Each structure stands twice: as C-alpha cells, then as structure tokens.
C-alpha cells in the first residue's frame, strides 16, 4: 500500500477535552488525514470543534450515532453535515425510514454536489446475546448485524461500522464500494484497554476495512505522531 493511502485510511479517535484535542490536532496535522469526534467532545464543544479540526486540514468523522424518529434524524443529519463533517454515524436499529431520512438530511446539506457520507452502526460490539435478548431480539448478533447492514444499504446508507472480525463478511455482503469502518484496532504490542476482539491495523484492512479507527494507541502514546507513523509504516510494509 502507498503511504498516502495508508494515511487516508486511518481515523484517529480524539476522545478527550478541548485543550488536549487541539494539541493532538496540531501535532498530527500533516501526518493524519482523519480525526474522529465522538459524543463526549461534541456535546462539550459543539460544531466549533469540527471547525477547529477542519481549519487544520483534517477530514472529520462525526460519530454521534443518531437514533430518533425520521423527521428528527433528517434534521440532525443535515445540521451535522453542515458542520463540515465528512462522515456521520446513525444506528441501524432506527430502521429503514430513519436511515433514508438521514440520507435526505446529508443531501440537503450538500455543497457543490459533494455530501457527507453516512454509515450505520449495526449491533454495538458491547452487546452480547444476553443483551439482545433483554431487548427482545432472539437471533444472533451476527444475523442481526447482517439484516441491519442490508437494510442500511437498501436505504442509501454508505456503509457500516463493525469489528475487524466482521469486516470480511460485511465487505462480501455490501460489495466493494461500501465503507467498512472498524474500531477495535491495536498494533502488535499495544495495550488492549477495554477492547477485546481486536485485530492489527493491517489485518483489519486485509479483511476488507476501508478505514480503521485508532484512538488510545495513538492519543495515549508518549509521542502520538511517532505512534501514528509507525502504524502507517506497518500498513505500507504488510499490504
Ligand atoms: O481508543 P480506542 O482505539 O479503543 O478507540 C476506539 C474508538 O472507536 C472510540 O472512539 C470508541 O468510542 C469507538 N468505537 C469502538 N467500538 C465500537 C464503536 C466505536 O471502540 N464498536
């Protein structure tokens, strides 16, 4: 893999407060292409944080996992896309009409024909079969994920978020153009933290991930830029 491709396919999750977030953004500028803003940072700082990252030249993955009635999700997706974010998340469990509404929302916010992409969370990786049974779902997590991924695609959604373990299957199910974004990625030797079913960056991409999300192995390193560049080197060497 070319070095520029490797940089474009890594998304650094910035899960911290504003000051540290901007410090990391300044350090990673010119190295990383993508930063991810999650609910904690967005609810504290609002659209301004997306703007701060964009001003530094980053693409932004705004991971707010929208899930509400279609009318609300349409408006939320439009507003989220107007922040300038390039990629948004919704919950597949909101069903077809809600997912179609998210697509309409980002289309309404399109600039010069370019719109934000939307990907669906199928089954949260924190949910096991017992948790699914609690909410009345008696099928396996894998079956549920397949059903929601297909429904997402049928409603104009651009891809899915899934674990690296599911990436090959999702790629097969959704075809080569779909976005398949995998968190739960750990370079060899990195601390697992609270992640369990992990894969290395090159394993995740080899299995079909279009993008990998890496947080603490980069943001918690003594030298985040060196940690980021080491993952780029791993991808270039192995793929
Ligand atoms: O620090 P770490 O590399 O574990 O960060 C992974 C990022 O991906 C976090 O922002 C986390 O919220 C997100 N994520 C995840 N597992 C999922 C969905 C999202 O770890 N199933």
Domains and CATH numbers, the chain: 3-238 (3.20.20.70)
Active site residues: 65
Other CB atoms within 10 Å distance of the CB of residue 137: 16
Q: Counting atoms of ligand 1 from 1, which one is nearest the CA of 220?
A: 1
Give the pLDDT score at 208.
Answer: 97
**35 sits in which H/E element:** strand 34-38
Give the pLDDT score at 223.
Answer: 98
Q: Residue 217: left if φ>0, alpha if ψ -120 to 50, beta else—which one?
A: alpha
Ligand 1 contact, 201 CB (< 6 A):
no
- Which residue's CA lies nearest to atom 4 of ligand 1? 215
Whole-number Cα distances in Å, 91 to 110, 162, 201: 21, 12, 25
Return per-residue pLDDT of the chain as tens, 239 residues.
Answer: 999 999 999 999 999 999 999 999 999 999 999 999 999 999 999 999 999 999 999 999 999 999 999 999 999 999 999 999 999 999 999 999 999 999 999 999 999 989 999 999 999 888 888 999 999 999 988 999 999 999 999 999 999 999 999 999 999 999 999 999 999 999 988 988 888 778 999 999 999 999 999 999 999 999 999 999 999 999 999 99
Prediction pTM value? 0.97
Give the pLDDT score at 154.
Answer: 98
Ligand 1 contact, 184 CB (< 6 A):
yes
Give the pLDDT score at 88.
Answer: 98
Give the pLDDT score at 194.
Answer: 87
Give the pLDDT score at 210.
Answer: 98
């Amino acid at each position: 893999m070319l070095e520029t491709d490797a940089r474009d396919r890594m998304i650094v999750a910035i899960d911290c407060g504003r000051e540290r977030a901007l410090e990391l953004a300044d350090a990673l500028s010119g190295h990383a292409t993508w930063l991810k803003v999650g609910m904690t940072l967005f609810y504290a700082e609002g659209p301004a944080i997306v703007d701060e990252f964009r001003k530094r030249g980053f693409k932004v993955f705004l991971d707010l996992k929208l899930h509400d009635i279609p009318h609300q999700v349409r408006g939320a997706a439009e507003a989220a896309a107007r922040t300038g974010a390039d990629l948004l998340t919704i919950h597949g469990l909101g069903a077809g009409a809600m997912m179609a509404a998210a697509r309409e929302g980002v289309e309404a916010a399109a600039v010069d024909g370019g719109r934000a992409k939307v990907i669906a969370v199928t089954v949260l990786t924190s949910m096991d079969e017992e948790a699914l049974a609690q909410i009345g779902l008696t099928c396996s997590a894998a079956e549920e994920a397949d059903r929601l991924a297909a429904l997402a695609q049928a409603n104009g959604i651009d891809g899915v978020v899934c674990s690296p373990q599911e990436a090959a299957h999702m790629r097969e199910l959704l075809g080569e153009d779909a976005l398949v974004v995998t968190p739960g990625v750990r370079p060899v030797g990195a601390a697992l933290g609270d992640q369990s079913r992990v894969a290395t960056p090159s394993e995740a991409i080899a299995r079909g991930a279009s993008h990998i999300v890496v947080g603490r192995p980069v943001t918690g390193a003594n030298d985040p830029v060196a940690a980021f560049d080491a993952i780029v080197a791993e991808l270039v060497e192995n793929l």
